[in-house]
Amino acid sequence: MKILVCISSVPDTTAKISFSDNNTSFNKEGVALIIGPYDDYALARAVELKEESGGTLTVLNVGTSETEPQIRKALAIGADDAIRVDAEPTDSFFVAEQIAHIAKEGNYDLIMMGRETTDYNSGVVHGIVGQILGIPSLSPVMELTIEGNTAKISREIEGGKEKLEASLPLVLGCQEPIAEWKIANMRGIMSARKKPLNVVPPVGEALTSVTNYSMPPEKGACKMIPAEEAEALIELLRKEAKVI
């Protein structure tokens, strides 16, 4: 089985978000980059599947050279080789086009990624890839087992779960609890340095572009209600906030 896992490189979930250049670019100063948390789940399950079935696992990132630490980490966790498409991942369609282009050439059985990236939260890349390749796309996948040519999947739907069976190839957007995040061991970290990382140029063009960033308005002061008069809250929610 050939697996392609697509990872994003995003600010750590605890990072303070700010903008520079008159609010036209994201301020990267002091921000630690990590593998997208959802992508990390996809990667962890892909490593397990590779161990179970003895296939190959390629990791793909669309990003500039500053994402290489995240790619090396994915290699240390268990991917065999890596491809980086050398471009800023600013547009969902553009990123999907890169993934589809690489996937077509590599003839993969499974193309896995997170349900969404934690920076732009669009959650559409897997679907666009599936459409371009003409194969089904499923998201958010919470359980995945492979039996022969069939994937058994459990997917979250609003207020519940759906169990599906589908034949490969497939594109999957993943989330917990599909697998536990993996931590690279020393042997993995050493071997990751020698694993191949191919850098390729992008194809096509972005269809959207960010012109400006802004921050939400500051929250006003919190109105405190003494615990012994807690019931007064209900009156405030009804008459002042008018939400119940």
Give the start-end residues of each E strand in 41-109. Answer: 56-63, 81-86
Q: Return the number of the residue (23 or 191) whose C-beta is nearest other proteins.
A: 23
Q: Quote the least distance from Cβ 78 to other proteins, whole Å.
A: 22
Cβ atoms of 93 and 62 within 8 Å: the answer is no
> Is the separation of the CB atoms in 43 and 79 below 8 Å?
yes
Q: Which two tokens stand for residue 163?
A: 């169990």
Total binding residues toward other proteins, as defined by CB under 8 A:
82
Instruction: Please pick, from the candidates 21, 22, 231, 239, the single residue that binds other proteins as defined by CB under 8 A.
Output: 231
Looking at 1, 31, 33, 135, which residue binds other proteins (CB under 8 A)?
135
Among 21, 29, 65, 163, contact with other proteins (rule: CB under 8 A):
163
Nearer to other proteins by Cβ, of 38 and 67: the residue is: 38
**Separation CA 35–CA 9 (nearest Å):** 5
Answer yes or no: are the C-beta atoms of 1 and 53 closer than 8 Å.
Answer: yes
d(CA 155, CA 162): 5
- Answer yes or no: are the C-beta atoms of 201 and 86 closer than 8 Å: yes
Q: Which of 31, 132, 189, 200: binder of other proteins (CB under 8 A)?
A: 132
Q: Which of 20, 64, 122, 145 is in the footprint of other proteins by CB under 8 A?
A: 122
Kindly tell me which residue out of 32, 183, 199, 207 binds other proteins, with binding defined by CB under 8 A. Answer: 207
Out of 1, 19, 33, 80, the residue judged to bind other proteins by CB under 8 A: 19
Say how far apart CA 137 and CA 152 lie, in whole Å.
14
Near other proteins by CB under 8 A: residue from 53, 167, 185, 198: 167
228: three-class secondary structure by DSSP? helix
To other proteins, the closest distance from the beta carbon of 71 in angstroms equals: 21
Interatomic CA distance for residues 4 and 59, integer angstroms: 6
Q: Does 143 bind other proteins (CB under 8 A)?
A: no
16 DSSP 8-state letter: P
Q: Minimum Å distance from CB 8 to other proteins?
A: 13
Q: Give me the 211-230 binding string for other proteins, x by CB under 8 A, dash otherwise.
A: xxxxxx--xx-xxxxxx--x
Question: 45 to 104, contacts with other proteins by CB under 8 A?
Answer: 91-93, 96
Stretch that binds other proteins, among 9-17, 42-50, 58-66, 192-200 (CB under 8 A): 9-17
Chain centre distance of CA 21: 27
